[in-house]
């Protein structure tokens, strides 16, 4: 398959849906035919790098990208404590969106952790699960640098293999107040959930329940969550395969059109 970087950066026009999820104003970006099979994407701890990678999914799927509470355009979740609050938030949002079965759930990084936790409790709603460089699993023998340990000025560079992937999404002035305030808010929300327990207590004990087809996607140059974590996830997920992509960092979907295409292909495979 030939790589066509234009595909991954093509603009996507999303419809902006607003939901009230038990008191939390929640924004959902939607694109694709409403009647197409649903693909829900759960984003990572930052929403600034856009959604261009979802462009190739729109032909086949109804793509739904909710902003987590405390991130992007969604409001804060009052009383938020840990990722389970997000699981419950999405149980309610899925109900509101009529997503009761045959959902393809794709979670990236922090969103991968939330997707995995969601799948443990709500696998009956899911058809396929894709975890893209998911966070939160402690794999013995694999060193993972704590997210909060990385100075913010280094963090952006650590997200990508090629800086040009992310440059279009950064403000001209690194001290841009609105940009930094938005990032602070997202890191604050992440800290509420993960500061004390960056590794999830539930995954190792319960992930084995998720016996639907699962794909684990990793960028081979991921310098935030090393690809060496992938086998740890695969071992816990009974029906999983691992796909790694060269010349791609943590934002593997943004950097590798093949990765984005692989997600679409996997979710489009017949059961």
Partner 1 sequence: MGLVDQAEFHFFHFFPYTELPPDHGERESLWVDFPNTNYDPEVGHRLYNRYLSEMVLADRLGYDGLVINEHHNTQYSMNPAPNLTAAALVPQTTSWISVFGTPPNLGYPNRLAEEYAMLDVMSGGRLRVAFPLGTGMEYWANAVNPATARARFRESIDIILHCWTDDGPQSYTGDFYTYRYLNPWPRPVQKPHPECYIVGTGSPETIELAAELGFGYSVVFIPRVAQLKVFDHYRERLAHHGHEPTPDKVAFGVFAYVAESDAKAEEEFLPHIMYFFQNNLRTTPRYLNPPGYVTVPEFRKRIQAPDVHGTANWDDLVAINRIVAGTPEKVADAIGGWIEESGANRLTLNLTIGDMPNWKVVKNTTLFAEEVIPRLRGRAARSDGAGTRSATSATSATEVVA
Angle (CA) 109-99-95 rounded to 5° is 100
User: Residue 180, interface with partner 1 (CB under 8 A)?
Assistant: yes
DSSP 173: S
User: Residue 190, interface with partner 1 (CB under 8 A)?
Assistant: yes
User: Residue 196, interface with partner 1 (CB under 8 A)?
Assistant: yes
Q: Report, in Å, the least distance between residue 13 CB and partner 1.
A: 29
User: Residue 84, interface with partner 1 (CB under 8 A)?
Assistant: no
User: Residue 171, interface with partner 1 (CB under 8 A)?
Assistant: no
User: Residue 173, interface with partner 1 (CB under 8 A)?
Assistant: no
- What span, in angstroms and rounded, lies between the C-alpha atoms of 224 and 221? 9
Enumerate residues 208-267 that contact partner 1 by CB under 8 A.
Answer: none
**Mutual angle of helices 110-122 and 83-97, in 10-degree steps:** 70
User: Residue 172, interface with partner 1 (CB under 8 A)?
Assistant: no
Q: Report, in Å, the least distance between residue 81 CB and partner 1.
A: 8
- What span, in angstroms and rounded, lies between the C-alpha atoms of 269 and 271? 6
| Residue 164 or 196 with smaller CB distance to partner 1 | 196
User: Residue 205, interface with partner 1 (CB under 8 A)?
Assistant: no
User: Residue 152, interface with partner 1 (CB under 8 A)?
Assistant: yes
List of E strands, the chain: 15-21, 24-31, 38-42, 62-66, 103-108, 126-132, 214-219, 240-245
Question: Site size for partner 1, by CB under 8 A?
Answer: 17
Residue of 181, 201, 205, 239 that binds partner 1 (CB under 8 A): 181
- What span, in angstroms and rounded, lies between the C-alpha atoms of 145 and 60? 37
- What span, in angstroms and rounded, lies between the C-alpha atoms of 93 and 42? 12
User: Residue 145, interface with partner 1 (CB under 8 A)?
Assistant: no
| Residue 129 or 187 with smaller CB distance to partner 1 | 187
Q: Report, in Å, the least distance between residue 178 CB and partner 1.
A: 9
Q: Which residues pair with 131 in a beta bridge?
A: 107, 216
Rg (the chain; Cα; Å): 17
Q: How many separate helices (H) and strands (E) can be counted in the chain?
A: 9, 8
The contact set with partner 1 (CB under 8 A) reads 148, 151-152, 175, 177, 180-181, 184-185, 187-192, 195-196
């Amino acid at each position: 398959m030939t790589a066509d970087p234009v595909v991954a950066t093509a603009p996507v026009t999303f419809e902006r849906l607003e939901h009230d999820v038990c008191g939390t104003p929640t924004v959902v970006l939607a694109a694709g035919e409403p009647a197409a099979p649903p693909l829900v994407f759960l984003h990572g701890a930052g929403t600034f790098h856009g959604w261009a990678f979802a462009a190739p999914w729109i032909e086949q799927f109804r793509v739904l990208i909710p902003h987590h509470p405390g991130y992007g355009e969604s409001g804060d979740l009052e009383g938020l404590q840990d990722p389970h609050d997000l699981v419950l938030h999405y149980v309610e949002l899925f109900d509101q969106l009529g997503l009761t079965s045959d959902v393809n759930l794709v979670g990236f990084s922090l969103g991968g952790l939330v997707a995995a936790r969601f799948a443990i409790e709500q696998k009956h709603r899911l058809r396929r699960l894709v975890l893209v460089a998911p966070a939160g699993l402690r794999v013995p023998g694999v060193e993972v640098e704590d997210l909060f340990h990385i100075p913010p000025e280094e963090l952006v560079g650590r997200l990508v293999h090629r800086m040009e992937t992310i440059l279009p999404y950064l403000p001209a002035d690194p001290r841009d107040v609105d940009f930094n305030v938005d990032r602070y808010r997202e890191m604050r929300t992440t800290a509420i959930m993960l500061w004390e327990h960056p590794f999830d207590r539930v995954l190792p004990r319960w992930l084995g329940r998720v016996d639907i087809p699962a794909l684990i996607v990793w960028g081979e140059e991921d310098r935030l969550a090393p690809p060496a974590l992938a086998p740890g996830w695969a071992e816990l997920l009974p029906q999983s395969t691992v796909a790694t992509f060269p010349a791609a960092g943590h934002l593997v979907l943004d950097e590798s059109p093949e990765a984005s295409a692989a997600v679409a292909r996997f979710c489009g495979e017949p059961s």
